[in-house]
Amino acid sequence: MKKLRITVWVVCLLLVSACGGRTSTDGKTTMIIGGSTSIQPLMESIAEAFNEKADATVSIQGGGSSVGIKGTEDGTFQIGMVSRELKADEAKQLKETVIALDGIVVIVNKDNPVDSITMEQLQQIYTGKITNWNQVGGLDKEIAVVSREEGSGTRDGFESIVGFTSSELIKNSDIQNATGSIISDVSVNEHGIGYISLGSLSDNVKVLKINGVLPSETSVKDGSYQIQRAFLLVEKKGETHDQALFDYIFSKEGKKLIEEHNYIAVERK
């Protein structure tokens, strides 16, 4: 009987730990933040610096924007990371804070001779209307389309801005569930094309100009680079959490970390 009571106590403790973070009775900030894999590396750096500075315990998990939304709604996460606009039903339950702006970068293999395509051509590539690189000034090779998985904030943002739906995505596209996988895929496939966050850009791939514009801090800020989105942290409406982390994100030190990750810092609203 004693062993049973101990086991039950351990299980209860694990269940409590899995339910997300909170501020402990000693005033120390403890929370779990989860969601978008695009925002994850940035928030890991922020959490590491904040934990040291504030003697806090903030941990970061991935899983995608949809996971961040669901986890925040059901209490698994105290804060969710979302890299797309909230849908109407989501906005009814969640309050959002924009922490940065990001460009979604279109990448190809470094040996691909194509340097620039139009937004219309990009839409036609991802919907199967353009299937060969020679249709956009490249070699006579079939285009290998790479995309993110359903529920990815990057995919949702990319599709909505470029102008097509998931049902229109070319059927033989290679679906990857992480930014790193897309980079790896395109880096070894001479005929591949994919899209990733500007802050995740690697020297192993080549960036395409869209409508003649390269993605950069300047072109995202002034709007000339059109494929861009906001990075959101979301909280459940009606719940008040320790705001020290948000204070840090919008501090001079926090903004510097955002810029070091090649994202665009914004003012707090």
Count of CB atoms within 10 A of residue 267's CB? 7
Predicted confidence band of residue 28 (pLDDT cuts 50, 70, 90)? confident
For residue 12, pLDDT over 80 is answered with no
Q: Decide which of 74 and 199 is more confident.
A: 74
Task: Answer yes or no: is pLDDT of 77 > 70.
Answer: yes
- Rounded to the nearest integer, the mean pLDDT of the chain is 89
For the record, the structure tokens of 105 come out as: 């970068």
Domains of the chain, start order: 2-101+230-265 (3.40.190.10), 103-228 (3.40.190.10)
Size of the chain, expressed as the number of residues it contains = 269
In this predicted structure, what is the pLDDT of residue 153? Answer: 87
Mean pLDDT, residues 20-30:
58
Q: Coil, strand, or helix at residue 79?
A: strand
Contact by Cβ (8 Å): 35, 63: yes
Average pLDDT over residues 71-85: 95
* pLDDT recorded at residue 162: 97
Predicted pLDDT of residue 4: 40
Rg (alpha carbons) of the chain, rounded to whole number: 21
**What would the mean pLDDT of 183-206 be, rounded to a whole number?**
95
Q: How far apart are CA 193 and CA 108, in angstroms?
A: 5
Q: Between 153-162 and 119-126, two packed helices, what is the crossing angle to 10 degrees?
A: 120
Q: What is the pLDDT at residue 168?
A: 97
**pLDDT above 90 (res 174):** yes
> Phi and psi at residue 172, in whole multiples of 5°?
-95, 20
pLDDT of residue 9: 33
- pLDDT tens across 241-267, in order? 778 999 999 999 999 999 999 899 999
